[in-house]
Amino acid sequence: MTQRHAQRSLALLLPAILALALARGRQRLDLYETSLEREIDKYAFFPATLGLERDVVDLLTNGGEELTGRINRYLAELNKRAGSLSIYVLDSRGRVVATSNWDQPDSFIGEDLSYRPYFHDAMAKRTGRFFGIGTTRGQPGYYLSSPILVDDHSVGVAVVKVSLEQLEQSWSTVEAPVLVTDENGVVILASVPFWKFTTLMPLTEERRKELAQSLHYNARPLPPLGLQSQGVVGSDKAEIVQLVRPAAEASQTFPVSGLFLSQSAPLRGTDWRLTVLSPFGDLRTMAWLNAALAAAAGVILCIAMIALYLRRVRLWERLRAREALQRAHDELERKVEERTRTLKEAQDELVHAGKLAVIGQMSAGLAHELNQPLAALHTLSDNAIKFMQRGLLEDAESNLTLISELVTHMGALTSQLKSFARKSTGAPRPVEVRHSMENALFFLDRRLSQRSIRPEIDVDPSDLAVLADANRLEQILVNLLANAIDAVEGIETPRLSLSARRDGERVRIEVRDNGSGFSDSVHARLFEPFFTTKDSGGGLGLGLAISAGIARDFGGSLSAVSLDGGGALFVLDLPSAAVSEIIDA
């Protein structure tokens, strides 16, 4: 990525980077501050406890060589155990009267340290805190001092000098450079050793001289670290700073050059400030990561929204489909109802047409049926006239009786024809089965006698009745009998039987013949409208379809089986009716 690109990306991501950097930096600052304070606190009460030592107070008030020797050894032992750099006691003039390094060549004994601020602080009964470089060994250290009081008067000062190097070393592995500056802005602790005794701000020449004179930093040159502010950000005075340092100073875990977010905080109980320099490089990566995460979250959100939208669309479509289905269903039902009505009407018409067809078929027989009595009537009436002319009144009377019987017979014939041709109401009523069978046979009488068929009727009990319409029941029986007559065509000894039996609440009417029977394929289509095996003109193929329809209308059924020994059996099942309910139609 080019510099320009990097800057542009940085500018775009700046708000995100900064928010992240500030939060992370604040965390680091808190962490380092706590560890530093803990380290210092370990020694905080050390000097004060020396003031409680009877011997130390005696030494300051009375002196004595032997006592000095004892305290020196005591301090040396204490220093060893505490792991501090040195422990020593100053008298009220600032001279070292006892020290842990009494037996070392660079012993502090007799040294005048009255110029050290920690001495003045302690003499003023305050706790002294000071970071400085020792004048003897040039060793940097942290000085903690406490007054040694007698009757509430400072008679001397106890000092412990500790090294914070261990802490510094642990800082070298942290992920961002950290440093501590003292009241003069001089770096006294740093995770990068090269930065120690540099200044955050360049010192004025005057101040530099002053510090050199005070031996505070043991005549160190105190060069500036080289931080260049790029601007303040956030509410807690964080700063973006630019730092350029030699690559050799870099630790394995953080860079030392580039842009940093500088955040600092004062250290409790001192005039020091702890500063953390969070490298932007790492933050930028994190910001990229954050941006990528945000983008990923955005994409996931988009996908979720699209999924939600698609779900909505699917639901909506399903709803619409359901509505459309409901509409189609309603429409279908309406059409079925309409068609059922039309079919019912058509069926009624067909039933009627079927009847007329039967009558048509019977017309020849009827003509014969009527012609015979008519001819007889003619002869009988002629003869009656002649008998009367001859005065043979008895003969005339017997002729007239015969004429009356013939007229009655013809009347019965025509009335039966009339009742058959009549359109029925279709309302179910109790109908005597035997009576309907006889009426049906009557219509087919001529065809039966032509083929010398003598149908057998077996109804048990003989007054067995069904709930139907007399006219329509006769129509079914006529259809079944007509088919049976056709089926026994060519059979040497044709047989046709009609039977009826009660079966619980039902009545089973059977029409059986010993005719040709039918094949399975014919059986499957028997009740189909317009299905016929008869020659053209022989049948319309409507008889069984209409008959089954009528049976259904009365809550019954019509079925058929082809008999093993030849012939067919048609079974009409209808609801039974009590005989007492029969109303003569």
Query: Is 539 among the residues that bind ligand ADP (CB under 6 A)?
Result: yes
Tokens coding 418: 């009339």
Query: Is 531 among the residues that bind ligand ADP (CB under 6 A)?
Result: yes
CA nearest to 442, candidates 486, 481, 499: 481
Query: Is 455 among the residues that bind ligand ADP (CB under 6 A)?
Result: no
Range in contact with ligand ADP (rule: CB under 6 A) among 196-204, 206-214, 396-404, 528-536: 528-536
Q: If you search the block for the tokens 């009656």, which residue do you land on? A: 384
Range in contact with ligand ADP (rule: CB under 6 A) among 79-87, 131-139, 364-372, 526-534: 526-534
CA nearest to 572, candidates 481, 503, 507: 507
- Output the CA torsion 446→452→458→463 (10° steps): 20
CA nearest to 103, candidates 83, 134, 80, 132: 80
Range in contact with ligand ADP (rule: CB under 6 A) among 137-145, 423-431, 457-465, 531-539: 531-539
Q: How many helices and strands (H and E) does the chain possess?
A: 14, 18
Query: Which of 534, 552, 559, 579 touches ligand ADP by CB under 6 A?
Result: 534
- Output the CA torsion 211→217→219→221 (10° steps): -90
CA nearest to 582, candidates 459, 435, 442, 413: 435
Cα torsion 275, 281, 284, 286: sign: negative
Query: Is 239 among the residues that bind ligand ADP (CB under 6 A)?
Result: no
Range in contact with ligand ADP (rule: CB under 6 A) among 192-200, 343-351, 398-406, 537-545: 537-545
Q: Which residue, 155 or 350, is less far from ligand ADP as judged by CB?
A: 350
Residues 478-507, interacting with ligand ADP (CB under 6 A): 479, 483-484, 487
Query: Which of 67, 359, 410, 522 touches ligand ADP by CB under 6 A?
Result: 522
| N- to C-terminal Cα separation, the chain | 109
Beta carbon of residue 494, minimum distance to ligand ADP (angstroms, whole number): 11
Tell me the H-state helices in 390-432.
Answer: 393-421
Beta carbon of residue 529, minimum distance to ligand ADP (angstroms, whole number): 8
What crossing angle do the helices spanning 470-487 and 280-389 adopt, rounded to 10°? 90
Residues 543-582, interacting with ligand ADP (CB under 6 A): 543-545, 568
Q: Which residue, 279 or 515, is less far from ligand ADP as judged by CB?
A: 515
Query: Is 476 among the residues that bind ligand ADP (CB under 6 A)?
Result: no
Q: Which residue, 218 or 532, is less far from ligand ADP as judged by CB?
A: 532
Q: Which residue, 25 or 354, is less far from ligand ADP as judged by CB?
A: 354
Tokens coding 414: 């025509």
* Shortest-Cβ-distance residue relative to ligand ADP: 539
Q: Is the peptide bond before 255 cis (omega within 30 degrees of 0)?
A: no
Residues that bind ligand ADP (CB under 6 A): 479, 483-484, 487, 513, 515-518, 522, 526, 531-534, 539-545, 568
